Amino acid sequence: MSRRAAIFCQVLLFSLGIVPAARSQQGKLDGLLDRELPSWVSTYKALHAAPELSHHEEKTAAFLAGQLRALGFTVTEHVGKYEHAEWTGYGVVGVLKNGDGPTVLVRTELDALPIEEKTGLPYASRVRAQDDAGREVGVMHACGHDLHITALLGTAEMLAELRDQWRGTLLMVGQPAEEAINGAKAMLDDGLYTRFPRPDYALALHDTAALEAGKVGYTPGYALASSTSVDVIMRGIGGHGSAPQAAKDPVVATAQFILALQTIVSREDSPFDPAVVTVGSIHGGTRYNIIPDEVHLQLTLRTYKEEVREHILGSLDRMAKGIAATEGIPESRAPIVKASDSEYTPATYNDPQLTERLARIFEKALGRENVVEMPPVMASEDFCRFGLENRQIPICQFSLGAVDPGRLEESRRTGTPLPGLHSSLWAPVPEPSIRTGVKAMTSAVLDLMAK
């Protein structure tokens, strides 16, 4: 094509509003991002220094609500109902209506973890608080929820300024108690989809130590596993340590049970259906020379498929009772195996069509080299509940790189792992992570709600 023809095409496209409008939109967004980034970094550091535990996110929720109101959102606080508990629901819902169009939900988590921070950062958390069991613990945003809150607020600000480019209803949701995996259910039980517009799409992001800051990752289909907390009580008949023949030792039965349950995944489960069974806690006995009456265990079960989860739960019960019977423990003292109702979340299944669509949007906004398809992992999260049962609402949670590129490259070269999520040393790189998160999420919503 000649130079003259190229100029003619550019003039024609400009007159028709094609291409230059898209470039103009991205240019305007980039300008806004650069202008607001310092403010967002300050917000992030303030949130990082003031974390709150699950079910105690009072100040974090109030801050989010105030910021959304200042941007013109209609805000409702204290959304969330916990059955059989005294916790206050600290869920926040901000609604911004902008004509007729789809409804899009964007979620952030509000809570932090009972971890004492050891990063040494100037804005490191020094907060100590009591957990739900009354223990004093250090508190830290070791999972990046402070980064997520900042990205949501940045996205809300961008979309409020760019409302001439989209139509529909925007829901900004601050979800409490993600770490306890019961905050999303509490908000839904409190009428999230009846008191407020039901979304056509639900989106979220989550930081990761597996990607450089400036990049995002996506996983179509199963992305995160379900999580089920299981309590097991191995009961026996206590006695004196010098006379084991007069007792039925639950410690020995427990040891056999822990070894036996490893064969559930290796011998009962298909190799094509990933599953993890973890014994996270064992408590039994009080003295060296006392055979206790019982031993308490806390387990976590993770799967993708519900039928695999149900099978493993049945196997845990069968094995515990079978081992007890083999040890001669009477049926009246049979083990108790109980899956928790409150600490359970299904697997996260990213709608494949929506996820692939977002991946193409991210490539346009960030560059193809900064968008990576990632494998599923066995970690768990309750964002999946916003899609409702049977995947009625398309959802997508994508990954946000948050690690210094040089450090990650060195880690890959040497094989020395870097601190990851839930580590006392987890420290995302704020500026590029926040900018990328806001740009990616804003671009996604603009596409889904385009005029």
- Dump pLDDT digits (tens) for 360-406: 999 999 999 999 999 999 999 999 999 999 899 999 999 999 999 99
Enter the CATH code of domain 227-342. Answer: 3.30.70.360
The pTM of the full predicted model, rounded to 2 decimals, is 0.91
Cβ within 8 Å of residue 21, ≥6 positions away: none
Question: What's the start-to-end Cα distance of the chain, in Å?
Answer: 33
Domain boundary assignment for the chain: 3-225+347-448, 227-342
- 213-225 pLDDT tens trace: 999 999 999 999 9
Tokens representing residue 84 in the block: 């059989």
DSSP for 405-443?
A: HHHHHHHHHH-PPPP-TT-TT----HHHHHHHHHHHHHH
Q: What is the pLDDT of residues 175-198, one digit of tens each?
A: 999 999 999 999 999 999 999 999
User: Does 3-225+347-448 match 227-342 in CATH topology?
Assistant: no
Instruction: DSSP letter for 194, please.
Output: H
- Each residue's pLDDT, cut to its tens digit, for the chain (451 residues) gives 554 554 445 444 444 445 455 566 778 899 999 999 999 999 999 999 999 999 999 999 999 999 999 999 999 999 998 877 778 899 999 999 999 999 999 999 999 999 999 999 999 999 999 998 899 999 999 999 999 999 999 999 999 999 999 999 999 999 999 999 999 999 999 999 999 999 999 999 999 999 999 999 999 999 999 999 999 999 999 999 999 999 999 999 999 999 999 999 999 999 999 999 999 999 999 999 999 999 999 999 999 999 999 999 999 999 999 999 999 999 999 999 999 988 899 999 999 999 999 999 999 999 999 999 999 999 999 999 999 998 999 999 999 999 999 999 999 999 999 999 999 999 999 999 999 999 999 999 999 999 8
Given 3.40.50.1010, 1.10.10.60, 3.40.50.2300, 3.40.630.10, which CATH number is that of 3-225+347-448?
3.40.630.10
